Structure 1
C-alpha cells in the first residue's frame, strides 16, 4: 500500500518498539496510558540507538507517548535529528483493559481476552476497532516515509501498533496479524519500498 503521491522507491522504514517499562515487566496492558521507560528501558534505548545510528537515518518519527518519544530521543541525540511526534503511531486504545494484567483481563473478560489472543475482532470494553487502528497506523507510517523519500526513516512506536502497521503497509488481511511475532522491547523491523512490488518486509524483530 502506498500514498500514491510521493515516489518512495528505495525508502527504508525501521519500525522500532520502545524500551521496557515497569508495566511491560508486569504484563500490564498500557494502551494509550502514558507510562515512562524504566531504567532497563532507558539502557535498551541507548544500546539500540547506537546500532540504529550506524544506519544513518534521514528522519525520525515517534508516537507522542513518552515511552516511545524518550526511546526516539536517544537516537535523536546521537544523530542530531529532530524526532517528530505523531499521535497516529500511538498504541491501540484498550479501553477498560488499560492498567490491568493479562490475568485480570482473562478473569473479567474471558471471551474478549481469548478473541484478542487469537487475533479476532474485539468490539467490547471500549477497545479501539481494528479497522481504525489499521487506518491510522498506515497513515502514520506513510507520512513518516514521505519525510525522506528514498532514505531511511526510523519510527518509534509500540508493540501492538507495529504489528498492525506492518500488516497495513504490506496489504495483509487482518486474519494474519496474530501470526506476526510481537517485537521485543527496543527491537525493530524493516520495510523497504520497491517500485515493482511496493513495500516488502526485509527484517523482523532485530536488536543488533
Structure 2
C-alpha cells in the first residue's frame, strides 16, 4: 500500500509580508493568507484526503481549517509541527537580524546551526519528521499544515537527506505544498515540491 503525504505551508501573514521572523510567535493569517488558504484548499480537497493534521499555531491551524471546511474532516493539532523556535530573532525583520546579530545571521545564511537560543536544525528536523511520520498512519492521503522551515527540515528527516542536500531546495511559498509517497519496498520518496496556486515573487524567508 502506498501512502501520500501532502506537507502544506500556511498562508501569508503580515509578518511574512514584512520579512519579519515569526518562529513560534502565534501570528494570524492576513486577508491574502485567508484567500490563499481557500483557493489552495479547493485543489487539495480534490485529492480526497483521509485526514488533516496541523501545527497548533494559528496561521497553520486556520489554513488547515479552510480545507476542513471543504472536506468535513476534523483537524488534528500537533505542536511538534510548529515552526523552528528562533529565540531572540522572533519579531525582528531579517534586516534587523543581520544588523544586530551578524555572526548568527552569517551562520544562518550558510545553512549552519545559528547557536544561542535558536533551535538546532537536527532537533527541529527530528520533531517535525516524527510528526509527519505519525500523520502518515492516518490514511492513504493525509494533508499536514505546517511552516516553511519546519516543512523542509521535516521532509529531509524522512528522506534521510544530509544538510547539504536540504540547501538545494528553495523556500516553500505560502500555501504551497510538498508531495511525498511511502511504501514498504521504496520507503519515502519526493514526488513534487512547491506546488500551489500562487506564484509569489520574491519568495519570503521560511521563518
TM over 0.5: yes
Q: Tell me the matched-pair count.
A: 197
Please give the alpha-carbon distance, in whole angstroms, between the structure 2 residues aligned to 1:113 and 1:160: 15
Q: Are the aligned partners of 1:60 and 1:81 in contact in 2 as well (CA < 8 Å)?
A: yes
**2:53 aligned residue:** 61
Distance in 1 between the 2:91 and 2:33 partners? 19
Report the CA distance between 1:48 and its aligned residue: 0.2
Aligned residue for 1:201? 190
- Aligned Cα root-mean-square deviation (Å): 0.9
Give yes or no for the alignment of 1:177 onto 2:166.
yes
1:20-99 correspondence to structure 2 within 5 Å: 20-99=12-91
Tell me which moved more, 111-120 or 32-41: 111-120
Q: Tell me, which stretches of 5 or more residues in structure 1 are unaligned?
A: 1-8
For 1:179 and 1:127, the matched residues in 2 are separated by 22
Runs of 4+ in 1 over 4 A off after TM superposition: none
SS at match of 1:193: strand
Give structure 2 stretches of 5+ with no counterpart: 198-207
Q: Is 1:137 equivalent to 2:128 in the alignment? A: yes
- Aligned-pair distance for 1:85? 0.1
> Does the CA-based 8 Å contact 1:63-1:157 persist in structure 2?
yes
Which has the higher mean CA deviation after the structures are superposed, 66-75 or 179-188?
179-188
Return the offset for 1:122.
Answer: 1.8
TM-score, with normalisation over the residues of structure 1? 0.93
TM-superposed deviation, 1:146: 1.1
| Residue aligned with 1:27, SS | coil
Task: Kindly state the Cα deviation for residue 194 of structure 1 after the two structures are TM-superposed.
Answer: 2.8
Q: Give 3-state SS (helix, strand or coil) of 1:202's partner.
A: strand
SS of alignment partner, residue 146 of structure 1? helix
The counterpart of 2:97, out of the listed 105, 117, 124, is 105
TM-score relative to the length of structure 2:
0.93
SS in 1 for 2:167: helix
CA contact (8 A) 1:191 1:202 kept: yes
Instruction: Identify the range of structure 1 (110-119 vs 90-99) with the bigger mean alpha-carbon deviation.
Output: 110-119
Q: 1:66 and 1:163 mapped to 2: Cα distance?
A: 20
Structure 2 residue 180 is the aligned partner of structure 1 residue 188: no
